[in-house]
Amino acid sequence: MADPVPFPSALLRRSFRKAFPPAVRGEGVYLWDDRGKRYLDFSGSAAVNFIGHGVQEIPDAMAAQARNLEFVHSSQFTTPVAEEYAQELLDFAGVNFRGGCVYFTSGGSEAIETALKLARQYQVEIGQSKRYQVLSRSQSYHGATLGALAVSGNRRRREIYLPMVREFAQIGLPYCYRCAYDCEECARKYAEELETAIELTNGEAAAFISEPVSGATLGAAVPPDGYLRQVAEICRRHDVLFIVDEVMTGMGRTGRNFAVERWGVAPDVLVTAKGLSSGYAPLGAVLVSKKVSDAISCGSGSFLHGFTYNSHPISLAAGRAVLRYSQKLKLVQSADSARGDTPAAELRKSLETLREFEAVGDVRGIGLLWGVEFVADKPSKKPFAPGLNFAARVAEATMRRGLLVYPMQGSVDGVSGDHLLIAPPAVIIDEQIHWAVDQLRDSIEETAGLDLVRRN
């Protein structure tokens, strides 16, 4: 019989064995628990918060919407907020989505499900009903629902559910620190893996889905130049839709409105969430290019899909106010790590100093999305034993110091490999970055020291 649950609760929480402090307030980059302890939100929760906590314009816009109209069903009505915000998002996404349309959901996973079904319906509409397979990448995460898990590679998050999902082929992905091709023409070689996988489907591939910059699974692994363009070109040549998952990277997080812009890539479908509402309301969106929306509007004329809460007016009011606030404060520019004098550039510089630690193998990322990978042996890049839970222990140590980071395991092979994801709100200032990196440094030192004691 297992030990009694140490922290009983009526809420089914993520862990029965971990204490979760009740959070009661947020402002700027800070959160407070019910005992008054302050935490610097260095990971934007889970790369969610982009504009900072406690921005009053957002609840004001939500309350105004709720007072006028809280909800209508999308089978009966549209709403002004939905129509206007959809157009604003298309404009934000640039020329590639001109003439396209937007489908709103309550989060990233629902948006991914929507994109997968859209890809299938698109192929059926254009007379390619044989095409249904969605190819994806091995070290990836696209969501918690079964469809999204089917195309995710994150082993820890999908393994026990595998008997319940339909699996399609997955290809490798560029991960410079542990490149399978030793970074020799790896952009081309990884892209060629896609071409081979598509050919092996014998004309059944409907779409390929990919995060432009790997999110939580690999910890902000940035692809080599040329990779995404080649992938997009292969998809185009094989009539396979290219779906980019910008749930984590979208809405400015990488210093561009959407990360794909950095590499001049034009996806057929773009999925976003997290920073879209910055956490003020549950919200996701699927941006659909004209080619795809035309196929349906000129074909059967209806999208065979729907959630009760798609295009929820209060969530849309939140998202729209977040976009306006972000534009007013020029937060996408603040998130550009390649410009001098931005919080993102300061974050890059400060995080780079962590390389001095024996336990830090790699520091990588872009904009305000960074990964710090830990290793037990730096020259050989040997990871810590998974049972040590190194990243989680560093995160516990930072939390004790009032700093929130996002720990993950599995970067090497889905099971071993520890890293932290760092993704602060774009309103962070240099002084806060320096304080946060100091706490992180002390926490790594403490955790690595404990590990040495255990080993000796």
Chain residues that interact with ligand PLP, rule: CB under 6 A = 46, 107-109, 112, 141-144, 211, 215-216, 245, 247-248, 273
Q: Which is nearer to ligand PLP, 245 or 336 (CB)?
A: 245
> Pairing between strand 241-246 and 170-171?
unpaired
Q: What is residue 342's DSSP assignment?
A: S
Residue 46 belongs to what H/E stretch?
Answer: helix 44-47
Q: How far is the CB of 89 from ligand PLP (least distance, A)?
A: 17
Q: Which is nearer to ligand PLP, 31 or 259 (CB)?
A: 259
Q: Which is nearer to ligand PLP, 125 or 245 (CB)?
A: 245
Q: Which is nearer to ligand PLP, 148 or 354 (CB)?
A: 148
The radius of gyration of the chain's CA atoms, rounded to the nearest angstrom, is 22
Measured in whole angstroms, the distance separating CA 90 from the mean position of its chain's CA atoms is 20
Q: How far is the CB of 274 from ligand PLP (least distance, A)?
A: 6
Q: Which is nearer to ligand PLP, 144 or 266 (CB)?
A: 144
Cα 67 from Cα 60, distance rounded (Å): 11
Place of tokens 């992180």: 440
Residues in the chain: 456
Place of tokens 């395991």: 409
Q: Which is nearer to ligand PLP, 135 or 273 (CB)?
A: 273
In sequence order, what are the residues at sequence separation of 6 or more whose Cβ sits closer than 8 angstroms to the Cβ of residue 298? none
Cα 111 from Cα 58, distance rounded (Å): 22
Q: How far is the CB of 319 from ligand PLP (least distance, A)?
A: 13
Q: How far is the CB of 109 from ligand PLP (least distance, A)?
A: 3
Question: In 3D, which of 85, 45, 29, 78 has the Cα closest to residue 61?
Answer: 85
Is residue 265 within 8 A of residue 104, CB to CB? The reply is no
Distances (CA, A) of 148 to 138, 167, 201: 13, 11, 20
Q: How far is the CB of 397 from ligand PLP (least distance, A)?
A: 23
User: Closest CB to ligand PLP belongs to which residue?
Assistant: 108
Structure-block tokens of residue 134? 């969605």
Q: Which is nearer to ligand PLP, 44 or 313 (CB)?
A: 44
Q: Which is nearer to ligand PLP, 205 or 247 (CB)?
A: 247
Distances (CA, A) of 176 to 190, 220, 233, 352: 12, 11, 22, 16
Is residue 402 within 8 A of residue 439, CB to CB? The reply is yes
Q: How far is the CB of 46 from ligand PLP (least distance, A)?
A: 6
Q: Which is nearer to ligand PLP, 51 or 437 (CB)?
A: 51
Cα 375 from Cα 360, distance rounded (Å): 6
Q: How far is the CB of 432 from ligand PLP (least distance, A)?
A: 24
Q: How far is the CB of 246 from ligand PLP (least distance, A)?
A: 8
Please report, to the nearest 10 degrees, the dihedral formed by the alpha carbons of residues 90, 91, 94, 100 taken in order. Answer: 30
Residue 263, SS3? helix
Q: Which is nearer to ligand PLP, 346 or 418 (CB)?
A: 418
> Pairing between strand 418-422 and 369-374?
antiparallel
Residue 287: other Cβ atoms inside 10 A: 28
Q: How far is the CB of 340 from ligand PLP (least distance, A)?
A: 29
Residue 245, SS3? strand
Q: How far is the CB of 212 from ligand PLP (least distance, A)?
A: 10
